[in-house]
Structures are given as C-alpha cells and as structure tokens.
Structure 1
Amino acid sequence: MTAASNIALRPDPDTEGGPPRGFFKSRYGSTSLRVGVATTWLSIIVLLPLAAIVWQSAGGGWEAFWMAVTSNAAIASFRVTLTISFAVAVINLVFGLLVAWVLTRDEFPGKRVVDAIIDLPFALPTIVASLVMLALYGPNSPIGLHLQHTKWGVGVALLFVTLPFVVRSVQPVLLELDREVEEAAASLGASNRTIFSLIILPALLPSLLSGAGLAFSRAIGEYGSVVLIGGAVPGETEVSSQWIRTLIENDDRTGAAAISIVLLAISFVVLFVLRYVGSRAARRQELEQ
C-alpha cells in the first residue's frame, strides 16, 4: 500500500469519533445569534410599546391610575366588554369546532371557497366589518333585524371578527388525528358520542382552549368592528376600547393608558391560564397513550 493510501485511510483527528472540530461551537453560535435577533425584534415591536404605555399610565401616580380604572364609566365599559367577550368566546368555541369539523371531515361543493372565506375577517379592515354589520342589522336592515345600539349587535360584530381563531386553531389538529383509533373504537361498539367525548375531544382540548383564548383577547380589544353598530351607549354598548378613545379625545392620555393596561393584563392572564391548562391536558393525554 502506498504512502498516499496510508494518508488517505488515516482517520482525521478533527472528525474521528464525532462531528468536525468547531461543529458545536458554530452550531450553537448561530443559534445564539438567531435568539438574539428574535429577542431584539420582539423588544422593538412588542416590549418597548408596552413599556411606553406602562410608563405613561404611571405618569399621574398610583392614585390617578386607580381613579381612572375605578371610575363609573370605566367599570361600566369593563362590564360590557368582558360580558360580551366571554359570551362570544364560548359561542365561537362551539361553532368554531363545528365549522372546523365540517371543513375537515366532510366533502361538499364549494368547500375550498368556504375554507377561504373563514380567513376573510383577518384580511378585512374592521371598520369595513362595522359598515357591513350596520348595513345588515341597522335601521334599514334588509332582513328586518335591527341590532344597532344593542349588545346583540356588538356581539354579532365580535363573532364575525373572532371566528377564525377557533377554526384555524382546531383544524390542523383534526387533520392529524388518527382515524384508525376512532374506527377501532367504533368496531368495539362505542357510540359516536363516546368516541367524540373520550377520544376526539381530549385531543382537541388544548387547541380549543388556545383558540378561545385568542378570540376572547381579540374581542376585549376590538374597536373598529363595533364602533358603528354599537354606538358607544354608556353602560350598554360602550366597550373599553371606545372609552379609551373618549379619554384620548378629552386629552386624558394617562387615564386611557391605565384602561389599556387593565385590558392587557386581563388578556395576558386569560391566555396564560388557558394555555397552561391546555398544555397540562396535552401532557396528560401523552402519558395515557
């Protein structure tokens, strides 16, 4: 065997027994760079604005903050906002699951068109949605249903803009479910209700809770879709986002920031709790499997 062959067959000390020298350093160095860039972007887009609004809400001190969030108008707007938003989230939880089920498990003419329409509220400007609601449910309603300046009108507008959250959260999970497990349970005599409650629903619970949390959070901060159909009637249809607008028009930016902080805190707590419950349910299901 020639010397060249011996050199060719000799193990490379940089690669023998593992990856090349510097592989992990390069790999984790690039990971650190990606994490740094992502964190910087998140800070610029999300954290800095949040810090700014917290700073502005604290401009008048704790007493001014407390007076702003406990005024009669603020309490009334919180009550209207949270009540309607909770009802909207529950309704979308049920009908969002139904729509996702139909799009996933059923075949019918125009299915792709319906699937595309689901995302329409994401693309449609919310003020346009308010105009649509006013044309359909306003004083000149073509269907004879007058919901302007009522809680029902606000609820319908919020249902329109929040429906995609539940549908798009549940749909991928339904597509990935193992149909063989359902067929095996059916062959053993399990009813459709039993299969749904014991096999399908536990698998869908994390995504259902996540979608409902997103729908609720979107609803409590919605403004454009309710501004015309709601009418901002104090104590009846005036949601917190409209009260914030009123405070800004009255040059009370500190009060407006204080109301915004409360809505942000409620939204964060709801999302955190629902996702925690959902992750616990998903972990329990994995252990059972």
Structure 2
Amino acid sequence: MRHRRVLPGLPLTLGVTLFYISLIVLLPLGALVYKAASLGPSAYWQIVASERAVASYMVTAGSALAATLFNVVFGVILAWVLVRYEFPGKRLIDAMVDLPFALPTAVAGIALTTLFVETGWIGQFLAPFGIKVAYTPLGIMVAMAFTSLPFIVRTVQPVLEDLDPALEEAAQSLGGSDARIFRQVILPLLAPALLAGTSLAFARSLGEFGAIIFIAGNQPFETEITALLAFIRLEEYEYQAAAAIASVMLIIAFVMLALTNLMQARALRYMSRG
C-alpha cells in the first residue's frame, strides 16, 4: 500500500520554497549588489573607505559586539533561571522575553530614550555617578542588547529543557564542583545552540535601526551607525552610495554567519564523536 503524504511532494514544495526565497531574499540582495557594483571599483572604494563611513563601521560593529557579549552572559543566565526554577511571575518574565519581537523598534527606541535620559526613571540614578547612556555609544549598546536578547534566550532555552539531569548527577557523584560541571558538561552541550543564537543576535544588532536612532544622538564619528549613514545617503538621493555602504554590512554579516556555521558544525562533530 502506497503511503499517502500529508504535504505535496518534493518538486512542488521545493519550487515554492525557491520562489519565495528568490522573491523575498535573493531579489532585494541582488538589486543591492547590482547597484553597488555599478559604481566601479575606484568609486566604490572611495565611498566605503571614507573617514565617516569607517567611523560608522567601528561604532556599529563595536557596539554590536559589546551588546552580543552581554547578551551571551545575561541570556544564558535568564534561560537557566526560566528552565531550572519555579517562582511567582515566571510566566510573565518568559513572555516578556519576546517583547522585542512584538514591539516596533521605533517605539522601543523612544521608550529606552525616555528611561535613560538624565531625567528619566533610570537615567536620574545613573547621572550622579557620571554615567550617561542616552546619546552616547552606551545607549547604542543598550538598544542593541534589548532588541537581540530573545535570540540568545530562545535558542538556549530548549536545549536546557532537554538536558538529561543524569549527566549532572553523575558529575556530582564524581566530585565535580558546580562551576566545573557547567564548564565541562553543560556548556559543551549548549555550544551549538549558543553559537547559533550569538550569530543571530550579532546580525540583528548590526542591522538594527529604529531602536537606535532615538537614543544614539546620531553624531557623525561618535554615535552614527552605518544603517543611519546609508539612510542619510538615500535621503540625499545618492542611491549608489547608500547601496555601497549597505553592502559592507552585508558582507560582514555573511562572513560572520559563515564562520559561526563552521564553528557550529565543528562543535556538532565533536559532540557526535564524544
């Protein structure tokens, strides 16, 4: 008896998938690359290597790296608490993790700015210590960390839920300390998911725009991100320059994702051998 498939066969599903990817992903990226390539090597390099553009790369990449590293630590702790402990308000906190996905980024930027200005609910307590968040690079990091945190938590959380408690119990019976058990038993099992979440969080931080422009101050060479510089070039009708600047961030994102996938594949192979 021939098994009846619930979904259509490979030719139809593959065709629909390729059509969707081409329409939503490849076509816009192809247009971006084509527009940037129409400049020619000399003009392209002059735009992407300009002093202002390089400064925006440094601000964007540096802030994204700092926000991602913060989220790796805080996100793992948050996922651990949500999985391993029961406490009042747990469901509310778990739901709030997804808030950056549902909240428009512009609204998030306005809310963060309101909180962290010197007269804001949080900023007023930081000001006496000389800590200024709004309109500084630190504000950019805060906005990036806010919008990218769910990627870490939601990739690590399912792995923690599926971990076999017998592994930890065996390690404890052998005299392993809590820190050593986490480092040598739990962390290697989390590594593939953590790498995936880290790459997604970093890529999201690189491309974030709405949540940043309100809190950053947008000062060239200081708090101007690359996405804003590309937007400024669009407003000036310099479409090729905007495409060239955007292509740099696209290349960085692709290289980062490729390296992360390579590291993730090696971690999976290491786990399978173990």
**Coarse TM-score class (shorter-chain normalised):** over 0.9
Which structure 2 residues correspond to residues 222-237 of structure 1 after superposition, within 5 A? 222-237=208-223
Which structure 2 residues correspond to residues 123-162 of structure 1 after superposition, within 5 A? 123-143=102-122, 144=124, 145=126, 146-162=132-148
SS in 1 for 2:9: helix
Alignment partners' CA distance in 1, 2:233 and 2:221: 16
Letter in 1 for 2:253: S
- Measured against aligned partners, the alpha-carbon deviations of 1:56-82 in whole angstroms (never above 9, x if no partner) come to 112222222111100111001001111
The 10-residue stretch of structure 1 (29-38 or 53-62) with the greater mean CA deviation from structure 2: 29-38
Partner of 2:89: 110
Alignment partners' CA distance in 2, 1:203 and 1:30: 35
SS in 2 for 1:226: helix
**2:65 corresponds to which of 82, 86, 91:** 86
Partner of 1:240: 226
Letter in 2 for 1:279: A
- Measured against aligned partners, the alpha-carbon deviations of 1:142-168 in whole angstroms (never above 9, x if no partner) come to 331442220111111111101101000
Letter in 2 for 1:32: P
Alignment partners' CA distance in 2, 1:257 and 1:97: 36
Alignment partners' CA distance in 2, 1:63 and 1:32: 44
Gaps of 5+ in 1: 1-18
**1:167 corresponds to which of 150, 153, 157:** 153
**Alignment RMSD:** 1.8
**1:119 corresponds to which of 85, 98, 101:** 98
1:206·1:275 contact (CA, 8 Å) conserved in 2?
no
Percent of aligned pairs with the same amino acid: 44
**1:200 corresponds to which of 181, 186, 197:** 186
The 10-residue stretch of structure 1 (198-207 or 53-62) with the greater mean CA deviation from structure 2: 53-62
Alignment partners' CA distance in 2, 1:60 and 1:269: 23
Offset at 1:139? 4.1
Alignment partners' CA distance in 1, 2:256 and 2:121: 38
The 10-residue stretch of structure 1 (239-248 or 136-145) with the greater mean CA deviation from structure 2: 136-145
Alignment partners' CA distance in 1, 2:191 and 2:258: 15
The 10-residue stretch of structure 1 (60-69 or 94-103) with the greater mean CA deviation from structure 2: 60-69
TM-score normalised by the chain length of structure 2: 0.93
Letter in 1 for 2:63: I
SS in 1 for 2:258: helix
Alignment partners' CA distance in 1, 2:46 and 2:236: 16
SS in 1 for 2:61: helix
Letter in 1 for 2:272: E
Letter in 1 for 2:236: N
Letter in 2 for 1:92: N
Do structure 1's residue 270 and structure 2's residue 249 form an aligned pair?
Answer: no
- Measured against aligned partners, the alpha-carbon deviations of 1:221-271 in whole angstroms (never above 9, x if no partner) come to 111001111011111110100111111111111011011111111111111
1:133·1:229 contact (CA, 8 Å) conserved in 2?
yes
- Measured against aligned partners, the alpha-carbon deviations of 1:71-122 in whole angstroms (never above 9, x if no partner) come to 1110010011111111111111111100000001111111111000000000
Alignment partners' CA distance in 2, 1:76 and 1:266: 15
Alignment partners' CA distance in 2, 1:32 and 1:287: 35
Alignment partners' CA distance in 2, 1:193 and 1:280: 24
The 10-residue stretch of structure 1 (183-192 or 69-78) with the greater mean CA deviation from structure 2: 183-192
Structure 1 consecutive aligned stretches of length 4 or more whose deviation exceeds 4 Å: none
Partner of 1:4: none
**1:218 corresponds to which of 177, 195, 204:** 204
SS in 2 for 1:107: coil
Alignment partners' CA distance in 2, 1:248 and 1:31: 42
